[in-house]
Chains A and B, each alone.
Chain A
Amino acid sequence: MNIVQNDGRPFFIGSGETGCLLVHGFTGAPKEMRLLGEHLAQAGYTVLGTRLFGHATDQKDLIRARWRDWLLSVEDSYHILSGTCTQIFILGLSMGGNLSLLMSATFPVSGVIVYSTPYDFPVARIRPLIPLLPLVSKFWPFFSKGEPDWNDPSRARDHFEYPDYPIRAAYELNVLLKKMRQALPQITVPVLLIHSRSDNSVHPQHAERILEKIGSKDKRLLWLEQSGHVVIKDSERIKVFKATSDFIHSRSRENSKS
């Protein structure tokens, strides 16, 4: 009778002065960040996989969640990780990427990596209806998820997330996206975006628009071809892992000194 489900436990692995804060996506769980986290721990980093509020417990909890709660979860993890690390990189998948970018505009992080991250509400046809979502949610709280877009079906099997989208929380996601868009020009730290051209949930154009608006000089976008939305677990994950650890290595402080 634990509240946090077994697959939803946050994790704190690896060692070293450089910390990586991993942020999962909307209705997802820390588990989707685990493979990436293990790769980074092996590469010599301390890794903390956060659990966002209302996630990996009961999907009804997300009806009460506000976008600030998710940012607070990331901030909690940032403070915990800074207890053992002298510099922190923040890495997020999808909505976790939005939270990572928003954090990097105000917290002294050494760099940001975002995967499959939206620029605005990913389902364009819903955008005009968004102001109505809090009301709709009272009668129709959950919206069933469509077919997933995995390229590597073996990875789909051990994936853990809520079965539905809570409509009230989709409204909050949209508020978060607005806050992130406002913050993009204020970001000055190194940024790497990774996005698949075959992403069915968040169209590749989103990555281009984020790239364009970010204030940093050191920013780049890495394209993938085959992967679905969850690029850190799908078929091109090795390429993603390598790009991730190369970016962190090259932007780490001790490395830039030498």
Chain B
Amino acid sequence: MSPIRKGGEPFHYPGKSPGMLLIHGFTAAPQEIQQLGSYLNARGNAILGVRLFAHASEREDILRARFQDWIASVEDGYHLLSDRCSSIIIIGLSLGGALALHAASRLPCSAVIAMSTPHRMPPNPIYFRLRPILRPLSALIQFRPKKFTPWRDMQARNARVQYDQYPLRSLIELEAMLNEMRNQLPRVQVPTLLIHSRTDDAVPGEHMQANFSLIGSKHKQLVWIEESDHIITADHARQEVFDTIGQFLQQVSE
């Protein structure tokens, strides 16, 4: 009766400072950032991969989630890791990237990395048409199936731990979180790396450029990846993503 789904467990690998705080995306699980965690731990760093509130359990749980709960999950991970390490680097994918940038604007850290991170709600015409009535509508229709996503690495796609449907109520929270993030972007002052795939089907590349232009850091860079869909930490070009992160970490430690 373990309530966390297999593969949805948060993880911690001991190592040296800076500690790497890893944050997964909306309706997903720590599983999608686990390989990145192993890669960074092999470099010697301490790792903590958080589980965001109401993820990787029962999908009804997420209907009760508010975006502040996700910020609190990140803060919990941050506090735990900062008891083990003198400095922290915050890394996130998609919603996790938004949470990472938001955290980096408020909590002491030495760098931040955001991958496949939206700037605002992705341009889905149905979402914007329904947005004014989404709150009452979500009481009637709680979930909608996810559309097919064009992964390059189908094996990685099948290994994925996630809710198979989008919770309508939680989309409002996702949007609220992105609003919070946009407000905070000018306050991000630490070295920042953004990574995005040119063929991201869920969040178009313009989102990275919009985030990039608002980030307050002097030291900021953006890197494009080819041959991957949205989940760039698990899809085909993941090794390229890991190596890009490795190089960036090398630069900021010099």
Distance from A89 Cβ to chain B, minimum over Cβ atoms (Å) = 17
- A interface residues, tally (CB under 8 Å): 29
Using A75-B2, A84-B12 as known contacts, say yes or no to A57 and B79 having CB atoms under 8 A apart: no
A66 and B64 form a contact (CB under 8 A)? yes
Distance from B56 Cβ to chain A, minimum over Cβ atoms (Å) = 9
CA–CA, A2 and B180, complex, Å: 13
Between A61, A68, A72, A81, the greatest number of chain B beta carbons within 10 A of the residue's beta carbon is seen for: A72
B53 within 8 A of A: yes
A4 and B72 form a contact (CB under 8 A)? yes
Residues of B with C-beta under 8 A to A76:
4, 9-10, 51
Using A13-B83, A71-B3, A76-B51 as known contacts, say yes or no to A4 and B75 having CB atoms under 8 A apart: yes
B3 and A72 form a contact (CB under 8 A)? yes
Contact of B4 among A48, A61, A72 (CB under 8 A): A72
0/1 string, A63-86, CB within 8 A of B gives 1: 010101101100110011101100
B133 within 8 A of A: no
B79 and A10 form a contact (CB under 8 A)? yes
Contact of B75 among A2, A48, A81, A84 (CB under 8 A): A2
Contact of B71 among A3, A12, A13, A75 (CB under 8 A): A3
Residues of B with C-beta under 8 A to A10:
76, 79-80
CA–CA, A216 and B85, complex, Å: 38
0/1 string, B9-28, CB within 8 A of A gives 1: 11111100000000000000
List CB contacts (< 8 Å) of B6-59 with chain A: 9-14, 48, 51, 53-54, 57-58
Using A2-B75, A84-B12 as known contacts, say yes or no to A61 and B80 having CB atoms under 8 A apart: no
Which 3 residue pairs are nearest across A and B when measured between Cβ atoms? A83-B12, A12-B83, A79-B9
Residues of chain A touching chain B, judged by Cβ–Cβ distance below 8 Å, are 1-4, 9-13, 48, 51, 53, 57, 61, 64, 66, 68-69, 71-72, 75-76, 79-81, 83-84, 106-107
Q: A72-B3, A81-B12, A83-B12 are in contact. List 18 more A-B contacts (CB 8 A).
A: A4-B75, A4-B76, A10-B80, A11-B80, A12-B81, A12-B84, A57-B72, A61-B69, A66-B64, A68-B57, A68-B58, A68-B61, A69-B54, A75-B4, A75-B9, A80-B80, A84-B14, A106-B1
Residues of chain B touching chain A, judged by Cβ–Cβ distance below 8 Å, are 1-4, 9-14, 48, 51, 53-54, 57-58, 61, 64, 66, 68-69, 71-72, 75-76, 79-81, 83-84, 106-107
**21 A-B pairs, CB-CB below 8 angstroms?**
A3-B71, A3-B75, A4-B72, A4-B75, A4-B76, A9-B76, A9-B79, A10-B80, A12-B83, A53-B69, A57-B68, A57-B72, A64-B66, A68-B57, A69-B53, A72-B3, A75-B2, A75-B3, A75-B9, A80-B48, A81-B12
